[in-house]
Amino acid sequence: MTSFWSMWVIVLTAITIILVTWVLFANRTQDQNTEGNTTGHVYDGIEEYNNPLPAWWFMMFVITIIFAIGYLIVYPGMGNYPGVLGWTQIDQHDREVAAADAKFRDMRDRYLALPVEEIATDPAVRKMGMRMFSNNCAQCHGSDAKGAYGFPNLTDDDWLYGGTPEAIKATLINGRMAAMPAWGSILGDQGITETTAYVQSLSGRDVDDGMAKAGEKHYQTYCAACHGADGKGNHALGAPNLANGIWLYGGSTEQISHTLRAGRNGVMPAFNDTLSEDKIHILTAYVYGLTQ
């Protein structure tokens, strides 16, 4: 923080400690049980005397004040003053992480040397992977990994970029950036309606044959390059399979039309800078094992 705010914190903290100390000792000077020395409060026939705190209670307050002063000398708390020990929460975090890494390094290195398929069902790997998933992935994919609107279900066999260990690990390391273009300005409202009908027909839904036939021409012109002529998608491009009835953004007429009209731009973050190689390997095994 700046020098001004550092001094602001120091002055306010010092004034607060001084005032608390003054109030404590100022109320210690009264004589106990002085005739007529009451607060004026009466409840159920009991009158409250205006006596100072009991000695043991008073000393507890004194101890807390001494502790506060000692703490502010030893640890940071007075603006930019670092404290006698120079302690920081960042340094403590780094030390604890380093100690944990050293403790579990041999075990993680052992798993790193084994194929994902081999460790995917290992109870210890499942337990570690579940914790990593909860900390890094559950916010989007759900604690049960079954996804949500716009976030893939990781427990089925439908994979945008492939469900092999290699593909899953590549997704975790590099992330993914979806690029479904918007076709509204090119197809127009009628073209969107026709293409929607054809896309619905790919998964066996009942649609108007004339609309679907017209939509097929649009599909082959604009969509087949990514989703394939048969609509079964392309893992290399992350293009979804449109023929299996599984919809990332919903499969209703309105939702499909919206996807065609406005496009989609989903983002899967990269964890290469967040998780170490061994942790990514274990997390890969956990995700892979969800469908086994």
CB 286 within 8 A of CB 137: no
- Residue 216: phi and psi, rounded to 5, are -60, -35
Interior/surface letters 56-73, b for 16+ CB within 10 angstroms, e for the rest:
eeeeebeeeeeebeeebe
User: What local confidence, expressed as pLDDT, does residue 106 receive?
Assistant: 84
Task: Compare 100 and 211 and report the one with higher pLDDT.
Answer: 211
Tell me what the mean pLDDT of segment 260-287 comes to: 95
Answer yes or no: is pLDDT of 35 > 60. Answer: no
Taking each helix axis from N to C end, the angle separating 277-289 and 123-136, rounded to the nearest 10 degrees, works out to: 100
Binding-site annotation, residues: 137, 140-141, 180, 223, 226-227, 268
- Give binding residues for heme c as ranges: 137, 140-141, 180, 223, 226-227, 268
pLDDT band at 31; cut points 50, 70, 90: low
pLDDT in tens, 54-66: 889 999 999 999 9
The runs of H, that is alpha helices, within 175-270 are 184-202, 209-222, 224-227, 253-262
Instruction: Assign residue 40 a region (left: φ > 0; alpha: ψ between -120 and 50; beta: otherwise).
Output: left
274, 107 Cβ separation under 8 angstroms: no
Q: Go through the domains of the chain in sequence order and give each one's CATH number.
A: 3-74 (no CATH), 91-178+270-289 (1.10.760.10), 184-265 (1.10.760.10)
Mean pLDDT, residues 140-157: 95
Number of Cβ atoms within 10 Å of the Cβ of 160: 21
CA dihedral of residues 206, 178, 138, 249 (deg, nearest 10): -20
State pLDDT tens for residues 64-98.
999 999 999 999 999 999 999 999 999 999 999 88
Residues 246, 249, 251, 252, Cα dihedral to 10°? 160
**For residues 231-249, average pLDDT:** 95
Task: Check residue 100 and give its pLDDT.
Answer: 85
Asked if residue 28 has pLDDT above 80, the reply is no
The average pLDDT across 189-194 equals: 97
Query: Which of the four pLDDT bands, split at 50, 70 and 90, describes residue 34?
Result: low
Q: pLDDT at position 231, please? A: 96
Using CA atoms, how far apart are residues 211 and 68, in angstroms rounded to an integer?
A: 77
HSE, CB side, 13 Å, CA atoms: give it for residue 97: 8
The pLDDT, as a whole number, for residue 235 is 95
Separation of alpha carbons 81 and 122, rounded Å: 50
pLDDT over 70 at 208, yes or no: yes
The tokens for 227 are: 């989703």
